A and B are shown apart, each in its own frame.
Chain A
Amino acid sequence: MSDGIALISTFSSDDECAQGIEALHRAHVHDFSAFAPFPSEKILEATSEARGQGRSPVRWWVLTGGITGILTAIALTVGTSYEWNLNVGGRPIASIPPYIIIMFELMILMGGLSGLLGFLFHSCLPAFDSAAGYRSRFGADKFGLVVRCAENEVSRLESLLRDAGAEDIAREAVITQGVPSHH
């Protein structure tokens, strides 16, 4: 049994795609996702406005990573110095100025790595099954907008997307939370 239709509309420019998103937003339709070959400012603004999201949470991963790095460095440098208490060239056992360099480097290292992890985590990567309505051209030269809706809304949304400038709109029946079954 099929409970809903996925409208897969293709745009040739990111402007039109963005307009389509805004149109959907005005029509209070939020169950959509957009595809683009590059990070288009317009599309990203439109989507985050439609979804009412703030900026990406990856920032917090990076911040935590960085702070961890600094703390690790302090522990490592100061800790190991007092482990042996060696007089080296008459310098203090723990000479902070040189240690700052270690702290800086570890901050960068850990911040960067945790940033990468955050990015993969929030983008649900790696994911080797293609999402509903993905078309390979979306990776090349076309922009896609995939909307889920009930049977009765199809015609309204189609016209709405056409007005936004969709070149072509395909329909697919959607199994709940599933991959669209092509027929």
Chain B
Amino acid sequence: MAAAVETNLQPSYIDIDRNVQRAMAPGGLKYWLWVAFCAFLTALGMIFWTNQIYKGLGVTGYGQPNMWAVYITDFVFWVGIAHSGTLISAILFLFRVRWRTAVYRCAETMTVFAVLTAGLFPLIHLGRVWFFYWCVPYPNERFLQPDFRSPLVWDFFAISTYLTISTVFLFTGLIPDLANAREVSTGWRKTLYTILSFGWQGTDRQWRNFSMVYLLLAGFATPLVLSVHSVVSWDFAMTQLPGWHSTIFAPYFVAGAIFSGCGLVLTLIIPMRKLMKIEDLVTIWHLDNLAKVVLLTSLIITYSYATESFMVWYTQDPIEIMTFNQRYYGPQGYLFWMMVACNCAIPLLLFIPRIRTNTVCLFIISIFVNIGMWLERFVIIAGSLATNTEPSQWRFYVPKLTEVVITVGSFGWFLMNFSLFAKFMPIVSMTELKEGIGWLRHAVRETYPYRKAA
């Protein structure tokens, strides 16, 4: 099959369908082993969380003044991951960027599950998780409501809105493709797709409303994605803690989010296109473009780091200066420099076209990006708390087993969901590829030499 595709520089509508349908074919033993492994990690995380709820947060490495640490780091990390999805599916859609069509469904899926994962961490982090719903405005006999001044309540609203809207967005886009899948599938899958596709038939009336709602949703998702990570950044920027109290945080976090998100898209899609044999749809040309976004955002955050430090120096506030001094040269300074290496130095390799078009290099770099962005959040959150305004209360945080396992478990949970979705849903948007089939052909032609080489 692949050999046949190899020569096909003019993919037709039917070729697109074939590729996607092949990707959706029932998974083999390897696939299910992988899913089981992810499920195992998830279960492990859950066991440790249960233990933590039972015994109290004392089982973690938390203490005075490290009130927030790994859990909030994970939270911000996962929320950040989510953002690239919306960027690719919504913002690039508005800008009519052609290469998005092949990757946006994958990114969008990642968004939904990343938010789903992120949403767990505020709960894991709570001292009394069984009362988490007190953060939610709900009618109760004492008229007790949350304090809408608290950035945590903003968080709740931002994250839940983001989850809902991106799910709606993902689902709306899915409807025509599900209808397509309905026509070719049989058995319970057919029933499933029939129900999920709402009996879509692609009449001109339906398409007319479809394009309108899709456009408006994209229009909504764009400010939303910017607002969500700004709100998350305000969890820190709104406090008075040196190292957190900074006006640059909102844009700086958004850029970082997109950076890390595109990083994870690469991490996911590079193995996926191989395993699912959709190299003709998600071509090197697409990856190349993604890599360029990674490079751009990497430059932006490098600039943000510089600005942040400059502002601290410029204020001449001795307390701020001491905090940053500790961030760079303190007992955990090595984390900061690792972060700089991962986020600022290594991505510069992407200036070289041969690296951008080499899937192995891209994969490795994307891993570094993920590590770097996790470290960035850890350095900001744990580091600033450790070196607070009250020297007698300084203490640097070191995680214990519980936090580590729960973090690993969150990756298991995310990958499990993602893998299941990728198998049972069209992970590449057929409609959009057909719409922009000219560009797909262009991509295939662009990619041809590399694939020959490979």
Interface residues in chain A, defined as those with a beta carbon under 8 Å from any beta carbon in chain B: 33-40, 43-44, 47-48, 53, 55-56, 58-59, 62, 76-77, 80-81, 83-84, 86, 88, 91, 95, 98-99, 101-102, 104-106, 108-109, 111-113, 115-116, 118-120, 122-131, 134, 136, 138-141
Nearest A residue to B200 via CB reads A125
Residues of B within 8 A of A (CB): 12-14, 17, 137, 143, 145, 147-149, 153-154, 157-158, 160-161, 164-165, 168-169, 172, 176, 179-180, 183, 194, 198-213, 216-217, 220, 223-224, 227, 231, 430-432, 434-435
- Please, how many angstroms separate the alpha-carbon atoms of A77 and B137 in the complex? 10
For residue B62, give the distance in angstroms from its CB to the closest CB of chain A: 25
What is the chain B residue whose CB lies nearest that of A136?
B183
Q: List 26 A-B contacts (CB under 8 A).
A: A35-B204, A37-B176, A38-B176, A38-B432, A39-B431, A40-B207, A48-B208, A55-B212, A62-B216, A76-B148, A83-B145, A104-B223, A106-B157, A111-B220, A112-B164, A115-B217, A116-B217, A119-B210, A123-B209, A123-B210, A124-B205, A125-B199, A127-B198, A131-B203, A139-B179, A139-B201
Please tell me if the beta carbons of A105 and B199 are within 8 angstroms of each other in the complex.
no
Give complex CA distance A143, B250 in Å: 47
Shortest distance from the beta carbon of B101 to any chain A beta carbon, whole Å: 10
Contact B206 A81 (CB under 8 A): no
> Is there an interface contact between B13 and A108, defined as CB atoms closer than 8 Å?
no
- Chain B interface SS verdict (over half): helix
A-B contact sample (17 more), CB < 8 A, given A76-B148, A102-B154, A141-B434: A38-B207, A39-B207, A56-B209, A58-B213, A83-B143, A98-B154, A105-B158, A106-B161, A109-B160, A111-B220, A112-B169, A116-B217, A123-B210, A124-B206, A129-B199, A139-B176, A139-B202
Cβ-defined contact, A88 with B149, below 8 A = yes
| Shortest beta-carbon contacts, A-B, top 7 | A141-B13, A56-B212, A80-B145, A119-B213, A126-B198, A136-B183, A105-B157
Of all chain A residues, the one with the shortest Cβ separation from B18 is A140
What is the minimal beta-carbon distance from A66 to any residue of chain B, in angstroms?
8
